[in-house]
Amino acid sequence: MDWQPHITVATVIEDQGRFLLVEEMAEGRAVFNQPAGHLDANESLLQAAIRETLEETGWDVELTGVTGIYLYTAPSNGVTYQRVCFAGKALRHHPEYTLDHGIIGPCWLTRDELAAQPERWRSELVVRCIDDYLSGHCFPLSLIRD
């Protein structure tokens, strides 16, 4: 059996109680997710998180810590993902930036606004990462070794 987990990164970016999320199309429906994506070849996890956030939201961010490392098997396709989720802060928005294919756009929601719409979560990791962040789970960036 050839089993390979997919390495992904995500960011939890909070500003005054609202979280930067991505509204995107997945399996024919509009869903919410953290800015997230796959690690590219010859790229560090930190570089990937910064790149994916820009590509999906048009925001430059500064990473401030590691919220958690998650192992998740998607029930829709059986693929296993290892997600490294970073905390960070928004620095600068580039409204003219061309977002990745399938991205409807960035949005800022409170945890309660997001929690009220579970049918629109890309996966349960969306709220879990925010809850871990809100619980104070933040490890130093030095946890990640290139």
pLDDT, one tens digit per residue, over 89-129 is 999 999 999 999 999 999 999 999 999 999 999 999 999 99
Higher pLDDT among residues 137 and 24, named by residue: 24
Domains and CATH numbers, the chain: 6-140 (3.90.79.10)
- Name the band, by pLDDT with cuts 50, 70 and 90, for residue 27: confident
Note the pLDDT of residue 45.
98
| pLDDT surpasses 80 at 3 | no
**Are the beta carbons of 25 and 33 closer than 8 angstroms?**
no
The distance in angstroms from the start CA to the end CA of the chain is 29
**Are the beta carbons of 19 and 110 closer than 8 angstroms?**
yes
String of DSSP letters for 44-109? -HHHHHHHHHHHHHSEEEEEEEEEEEEEEE-TTT--EEEEEEEEEEEEEE-TTPPPPTTEEEEEEE
**Are the beta carbons of 70 and 82 closer than 8 angstroms?**
yes
pTM of the model: 0.94
Higher pLDDT among residues 74 and 10, named by residue: 10
Cα–Cα dist 115/37, whole Å? 22
Would you give the DSSP letter of residue 39? P
Note the pLDDT of residue 6.
92
Rounded mean pLDDT of 4-19? 94
Window from 44-48, 50-54, 77-81 with minimum mean pLDDT: 77-81
Would you give the DSSP letter of residue 119? G
Note the pLDDT of residue 1.
60
Q: What percent of the chain has pLDDT over 70?
A: 99
| pLDDT surpasses 90 at 86 | yes
Backbone dihedral angles phi then psi of residue 16, each to the nearest 5 degrees: 55, 45
What's the Cα-to-Cα distance from 136 to each of 65, 112, 124, rounded to whole Å?
Answer: 11, 18, 19
